[in-house]
Structure 1
Amino acid sequence: MTSNEFNMLNKEMQTSILWNQGIVISERQDRGTAYILYSIGSFYVELKYVNNSLVAIKGFTCTDMLDPYIDNIPIYTSLPFLLE
């Protein structure tokens, strides 16, 4: 599945895929909005929460969108083969 195919799914299918296949990479807060970053295969997914309600789900491959998370991503999360 590509990020574009993921983005075309309805919210229920997206969350099901996240819970079953997603790996939490990082979390962050910005002015009362919470974000959770997941990895799913070859792309990333960002969940956006406002007042504890899920308001957006976005799949992407552009690594520029990882910039807000970089300081919070442990290196072993990004490179699991180093732990083998």
Structure 2
Amino acid sequence: MLTMEQYDALEDAEKAAAILQGEFLADREENGLIVQLYSVGSFYGELYYDPLANKILRWRAFEGTQQLSPYLAHIRFNAR
């Protein structure tokens, strides 16, 4: 399992690849970009993808759950 410390030691191109190897959780739209959320071992990673350019523009990794709030609005619950 990849740790945050190991992730931080990777080269930039390797960081995006490491996030893509994680488990996809959700996506959202932000300013025309698609932001994809992944679970990567003990932390989370986000990829900011430009669909018009078909290119990943940036990525970031974070620990904890406080930064997951933008995704919570997209969860649908089946209330009975």
Q: TM-score, normalised by structure 1?
A: 0.69
Q: Percent identity?
A: 30
5+ residue gaps, structure 1: 76-84
AA in 1 matched with 2:48: K
AA in 1 matched with 2:67: M
Name the CA shift for 1:74/1:43 in 2 (closer, same or farther; >3 Å).
farther
AA in 1 matched with 2:68: L
CA–CA separation in structure 2 for the residues paired with 1:69 and 1:44: 12
AA in 2 matched with 1:68: P
1:28 aligns with 2:28: yes
AA in 1 matched with 2:57: V
CA contact (8 A) 2:19 2:38 kept: yes
AA in 1 matched with 2:59: I
5+ residue gaps, structure 2: none
Count of aligned pairs: 74
Deviations 1:15-72 (Å, cap 9, x if unpaired)?
332343x100000001212100000111100011234321211111131110001133
CA–CA separation in structure 1 for the residues paired with 2:75 and 2:5: 24
CA contact (8 A) 1:25 1:73 kept: no
| Structure 2 counterpart of 1:6 | 7
Secondary structure of 1:9 counterpart:
coil
| Structure 2 counterpart of 1:48 | 48
CA contact (8 A) 1:38 1:46 kept: yes
